[in-house]
Every structure is written in C-alpha cells, then in structure tokens.
Chain A
Amino acid sequence: MTQSEATPPIELRGATKRFRTPDGSTYTALRDIDLTVAPGEFCAVVGPTGCGKSTTLSLISGLEEASTGTVTIDGRPVSGIDRRVGFMFQQDAVFPWKSVLTNVAAGPLFRGAAKREAIDRSRDWLRRVGLSGFEDHYPHQLSGGMRKRVALAQTLINEPRILLMDEPFSALDVQTRQIMSDELLDLWELTRPSVVFVTHDLEEAIALADKVVVLTVGPGRVKDVFPIELPRPRRVQEIKFEPRFVALYERIWNSLRDEVRAAYSRTAGEAA
C-alpha cells in the first residue's frame, strides 16, 4: 500500500465550527462533520443555503480553525494556510487594480518566483483558459464569465494538490456555466488535484463529481454520500440525458429535498 492510499489528502473528523455572533452568543455553523477525499477525487458538496458549505471550505483552507474535531491535509493537522491548497471563492476575488496578466501572475509572485517566469507562466495559463489577447485588460473591463476564467487561472497557476471551489460558476448564465464546467474538467484532468466543489446545483454536482456529499440544514452535518460512477471523460451538456444520471439525480434529490424545505421554512418563518 502506498503512502497516499493510507492517508487521504483531505480528512475532517468530527469537525465543529462555532462563530461568535455580534450579540455575544455563539452560533454553531457546522456540527461533527466527517468527510474524506481521496487522491485525485472530485467531491461535490450540496446543501441548503446557510448550512455551512463555505465554512467547511474555510476549515480545509486554514482560513478558519475548527472549534473541535480535526481537519488534516495529507495526514497533518491544518494550522494556517497551506501551499498545496488553491481556493476559488464564492464572491469575485480578483484584484481590481491589477491587469489580467498580473492577476494571474500574483500567486507565483507572492511565492517568490522571478518576475519573468511568473509572467511567462501567466501567459500560458491565460491561453489555457482562453483569455489570450486580454492580458492588459482590467477586471472591470471583462464579462462575468471572463472574470471567472481569470480567477480559475489565478488559482490553478499555483498547481494546487487540493482545489477548493465555492460555487465558482453560480453567478453565470446556464450556457456559460456549462462551458466553464467542461473546461474545468479538462483542466482538472491535466494535474488531477483532489477537489471539493461546493454548489447549489445538483445537476452540476452530479455531472462533475466522483462523489456527492449532501449536508443537512444548518448546523450542517453530513447526511448522505453518493458515489457517482459515470464514465469519464464527461460532457456536461450531454450527460444530463443519460438514464443513469437521471436515476442518480432522483435518489440524491430525495435526500436533499427535505433539507432544502426545512431551510426554506426556517427563513420564511424568520421573515414572518
């Protein structure tokens, strides 16, 4: 047995996260999360809004610390930010004052690469995400989809072994989102990092992932884990019509539906 099979790249054991609220009390965002991601595995996480999906990613990334329980990367407890991790955020996080080229070069430059080398690699990645010719544009001069491509290149240029993605395409229209999903799969095949991909969209989750994790309404816990044994390479637009996809969708939706309803009635109750 090799080392990597023995110790999973990402593992959460009984991870709980509490936040202090402005009125001084504590709020439990995640309770006893158990999650394991294998080497090169694409894991999608779905769950109702506010159940703690973003919080899960910030625990893995080291941006936040678990209140109790353990979070390990390659068997070692997370303490602070790890060089092996890449993170694409839910909100736009490209630097508005940097050009597209220097935005993508930011990672290598932060990590001490020579300027020439960083710029060359940035050009390579821009070509890979289809943004050649836009090197000197500023983010505000790009469409939403193009900004996501910048963010993707900015994350992938560091060649992370662990890739965290928080609803990266949710702000895009359906067609653009499907194109971006296909491109993401192609890029993922190149280096095969372990991925945790958070989404609201169950179709997107099944089409992309090797495994779909359903979280309960907040405080989130793992409700079910569904392996997705659809063959790769996949084309996101076409796979949706396969009978096996439809069957999986129904099974997972059955699990997710109650949580979404519970979350909805909770927020509706708050609003009333």
Chain B
Amino acid sequence: MSEQNMTAVSAAQEAAPHDSPTAVTARRRRLRGRATILSIQAVLVVAVLGSWELAARQKWIDTFLYGQPSGVWKQLVDWFEHGTEVGSIWQQFEVTLEEALLGFLIGSVAGIVLGVALGRVRILAAIFGPFIKLFNSIPRIVLAAIFALWFGLAIPGKVATAVVLVFFVVFFNAFQGTREVDRNLIANARILGASPWKVTTQVVVPSAFTWIIASLHVAFGFALIGAVVGEIIGAQHGLGLLINQAKGNFNPNGVYAGTVLVAVMALAAEFLLTVLERRLLAWRPSNDRDPESGL
C-alpha cells in the first residue's frame, strides 16, 4: 500500500516537475481522498451483496422470493450466452433503448420548443397554459394503458408513454428558464440590432439552457420508465418484457437481472448527458465541477 502511494506520488511529480510543492501536496491529498472514497464504496457494495448472498445460502431468506446475487449473475450470463425466450439479449436491449431514445428526443424537442415559445409569447401562454396544466394533472402512467389499447404490442405505444413523461419535465424547465432570462441581456441584444427571432435563438435559448439541461438528466430517466412500463403492460420485445416474464415464471433473479440492465442503460445515458453538458456549458465558471461534490 505504502509502496503504491510512493509510486503514485513520484509519478505525479514527474508529470509536473514545475509545480509548486503546495500544488503537489494538494494533488496528493486529492488522490488519496479519491482513493479513500472509492475503497469505502467498494466495501459497501461487497458488504451488501455478500450478506444478501450469505443470507440466501444459509436459507435465512427464501431464494424463491428474494433471489440471490450469484443467481442474478448466472441469469445474466445465460441471457448473453444463450439469448432469451424472445430473441437475443442485444435485441431486447436495442428495442428498449430505441423506445426510450425516441421518446426522449421527441418529448424534449417538443418540450423545449413549446416551453420557449410560451415563455416568450405572453398570449400563447395565456391561451395554452390552462390546457397544459390540465394534462399535467393526469397521472401519466395511466396513459401507458391507453396507449397499449391504441397501439397494441408495437413500439409506438411505448414511445408515446415516454414522450408524455419527458415532455412535461422539459416543458416546465424551458418555460421557467425562458421567463428568468436577464432582462438586461435581452435589452442589450435588441439595442445591438437583434430581431425578436435572434433574441430568442441567441439570447433566450442559450441563457435558458442551464435550466433545460438540468431537466434533460431527469428526462432520460423518465423516458426509460415510460419504455419499461409500456413493455411490462404488453410487448413483444424489450427489457420490460423480460422483467415481466421473469415475474410470471417466479424467477426473481430474472427480475433483478433485467433491472440491472435497465440501470446500466440509464447510467450510460447519464454519462453522455454530462459530457454534452460540459461541452455546451463550457462558458460557465467552473466552481461546480468537483467530481466528489455529490450527485
């Protein structure tokens, strides 16, 4: 352990020979802090999974109901090696991803366009505001059942469910973000010669983007919920279908394995969105970029 520390430190010193001693100690401290956090996290994961596995093997809990980690792992391996009842695992992955992505794209584009339009044009907000509030008050998961009626087992029903879930989150953020744009910036752009359309595209949208991108993180999660719930209600393919079938076969390991795959998809999307956010919001002061600062 101490030897590892030594090599890490000397590597850091070699990499930046001109850094002041305080910068080097600061970096060393940061590295050590990061290592500590990672090892605590690893210990937590091992402890939880280990005690679950132990409880299952010792028959303290009923594996028929609660499953066990090694069983989940076997199920995953089985899916990847031999496919599922409804086709290869990659196909299920792809179908769910396609539904979620389509729902995410359609829902967020519609949310951004309508949110900015209603935020900018008062008369539109006055006309459509009440309708949007009305639709927003419907529990949207209920709509998944209606869409299943309309579209049957096909993909469009799942996409539609994802769209309605995504739309409202993005819409309200885009609307609020548009309303909060600094009035000075708008006045400045108008004086400099910007037409109302240019004010919208060059001042309002970039400025509201901080709000919009925050909602996109949540929105992809919602798109995934829409897709999976739609598949659980009725589908021919997809991870939601796998979860539902496993439930029907009293196979808790299958349910967990499906859940793990959904989570992997969500984390990958979150990662891509964070990269996009850093790219697009590079102009912001970088005080909140500390990876250890939290979620």
Contact = CB atoms under 8 A, between A and B. Distances in A.
B283 interface: yes
Interface string B121-137: 00000000000000000
Contacts of A110: 189, 192-195, 198, 202
Interface in A107-134: 107, 110-111
A147 to B, nearest CB: 13
Contacts of A91: 184
Contacts of A140: 283-285
B207 A97 contact: yes
Interface in A206-263: none
A85 B191 CA distance: 7
Contacts of B182: 93
A61 B191 CA distance: 8
Contacts of B283: 96-99, 138-140
A63 interface: yes
Contacts of B209: 97
Interface residues of B, number: 23
B192 A154 contact: yes
Interface string B195-210: 1001000110011010
Given A93-B185, A110-B198, A63 B190 contact: yes
Contacts of B198: 110
Q: Is chain B's interface secondary structure helix, strand, loop, or mixed overall?
A: helix
A92 B281 CA distance: 19
A101 interface: no
A63 B285 CA distance: 31
Nearest to A138: B283
Interface of B: 182, 184-185, 187-195, 198, 202-203, 206-207, 209, 281-285
Question: Which 3 residue pairs spanning A and B have beta carbons closest together?
Answer: A93-B188, A110-B193, A111-B193
Given A87-B187, A97-B281, 15 more contacts: A61-B191, A63-B190, A94-B188, A95-B188, A95-B203, A96-B283, A96-B284, A97-B207, A98-B283, A99-B283, A106-B189, A107-B192, A110-B193, A140-B284, A154-B192
27 contacts: A61-B191, A63-B187, A63-B190, A81-B190, A81-B191, A85-B191, A87-B187, A89-B184, A89-B187, A93-B182, A95-B185, A95-B188, A95-B189, A96-B283, A97-B206, A97-B283, A99-B283, A106-B189, A106-B192, A110-B193, A110-B194, A110-B195, A110-B198, A111-B192, A139-B283, A154-B192, A158-B192
